[in-house]
Amino acid sequence: MIWRFVVRRVLIAILQLVGISLVVFFLIRLLPADPVARLVGFNATQVAYDQAEAALGLNKSVIQQLGDYLGIMSTAKYDGIAQGYLGDSWVTGSPISEEIGRFLPVTLELITYSLLIAFLIAVPVGITSAMRPDGVGAKITFFWGLFAGSQPEFWWGLMFVFFFFTWWWEQFGFFLAPAPLGRINPMLIEPAVITGFILVDSILSLNFEAFVDAAWHLMLPVFTLVFIVSGPIIKMIRQNMVRVLRSDFILYARSCGLPSRSVSLYALRAAMAPAMTLIGIFYGFLLGGAVPIEVIFALGGLGEYSIRSILSFDYPAIQGTVLIIAMVSLLVYLTIDILHAFLDPRITF
């Protein structure tokens, strides 16, 4: 049953991806931009310009370009998507998949840790503030949600850098947080790339010095993201919890004399599912939306990569990035749906 659902969803996802690649392909080409001039410079000769245009394949008709890109009825020497190849970057010349493979794990690592920690904080805080609506926890939550959500994330990022790095050092003479310059101290040997997740890689390669330093570098960006996304997640869990606590089945469970621990578990189980959906939505959003954080802390993530590609009219890179982000989002949604189904027997496929 569940497998039929997964297969169906994957098939639909493939259709969606095809649709997305087509839309992106045509939309880019509608831009009033000249990537060739960008590449060879405005003062290049006509011959050099033509050569460059031919090298990029931009002298062909749009339909032919689409064929080259998709790898179907291709007239180019290189492979297309159908062969599993995203093309080469026009700027660096290296394969897009290789570049994304380098940038994507950085973003995934940042948002996975952030959402995981946000979730771990939000569950107990949301529950306590629902159970004691007049308690201190509920009030703090309220102001937190209001405060954190009312400022843009880059501003919070800058504030944290200023406070924990600059101000702290001036005040106390040591660094609470490292300088916002990348994922690891450049003086250290970076762990070999295995998964791309630097914390995981440093453990796998038994480089504990790198592990500690990488964790230290990740501290502030993760903290900033957690600070911002926790508000809405707490609010979601709190509201669900309040609703569930007033429900018939909780009142009934209490009237049956179930221990309060069991009653809380009953409530938590029912309140959890919608919160997970929110996590999924955040995940998809942050794949491209964590750019300000990535830039401030110079992490070199996918968001940064996509901005760079857009600004340099690197068509294959833009297409590849969009496709990959869409793929990861669809995968996350699918995972959430499957988890949902395991939690809630009312969902059938």
Partner 1 sequence: MAIDEMTAPAGDTGSARPIMKVENLSVVFPRPDASDITAVHDFSLSVTEGEFIGIMGEPGCGKSTAAMAMLGLVRPPGRIATGTVEFLGQDLGKLDEEELRAIRGKDIGMIVQNPRHSLHPMIRVGTQISNVYRAHNDVSKQEAWEHSIEMLRMVGINDPERRVKAYAHELSSGMAQRVLIAIALSSQPKLLIADEPTSGLDVTIQAQFLDEMWDNVQKTRSSVVLVTQDLGIVANYCDRVVIMHQGTIVEVAEVHDFFNSPQHEYSKAILGLQRRAQEKGVAIAKVDEKAPPLLRIEDLTMHFPIRASKSKVHAAEQVSFEIKPGECLGLVGESGSGKTTVGRCLLRLEEPTSGSINFHDVDLASVSREEFRKNRANMQIVFQDPLDSLNPRWTIKQVLEEPLKLHSDMDQEQRLDRIRELLKLVGLEESFVQALPKEISAGRQQRVSIARAIASNPDFIVLDEPTSALTPETTAEIIELLIDLSNKLGIAYLFISHDLTTVKFICHRVVVMYLGQIVEIGTKDQVFETPRHPYAKALLSAHLFPDVANRRVDREVRESLQGEIPSPITENLPKGCYLFGRCPSQVEKCRNMPQELTELEDGRLVRCWRVQEGELTD
- Which residues of the shown chain bind partner 1 in the complex (CB under 8 A)? 133, 242, 245-249, 251-260, 262, 266, 269-270, 343-346
Provide CB contacts within 8 A for 344, sequence distance 6+: 273
CB of 271 to partner 1, least distance (A): 11
The SS3 of residue 95 is strand
Nearer to partner 1, 151 or 260 (CB): 260
Contact status, residue 95 vs residue 88, Cβ threshold 8 Å: yes
Nearer to partner 1, 245 or 323 (CB): 245
Rounded CA-CA distance 41/228 in Å is: 42
CB of 247 to partner 1, least distance (A): 7
Nearer to partner 1, 70 or 242 (CB): 242
Nearer to partner 1, 243 or 308 (CB): 243
Identify the residue whose tokens are 């869990």. 237
CA dihedral of 106, 81, 282, 158, whole degrees rounded to 10: 40
DSSP assigned state of 30: T
CB of 142 to partner 1, least distance (A): 14
Nearer to partner 1, 271 or 302 (CB): 271
Nearer to partner 1, 254 or 308 (CB): 254
The two three-digit tokens of residue 306, written as one number: 């996509």
CB of 259 to partner 1, least distance (A): 6
CB of 131 to partner 1, least distance (A): 9
142: closest CA among 61, 232, 13?
232
DSSP per-residue string spanning 115-134: HHHHHHHHHHHHHHHHH-TT
CB of 276 to partner 1, least distance (A): 13
The SS3 of residue 45 is coil
Longest CA pairwise span in the chain (Å): 87
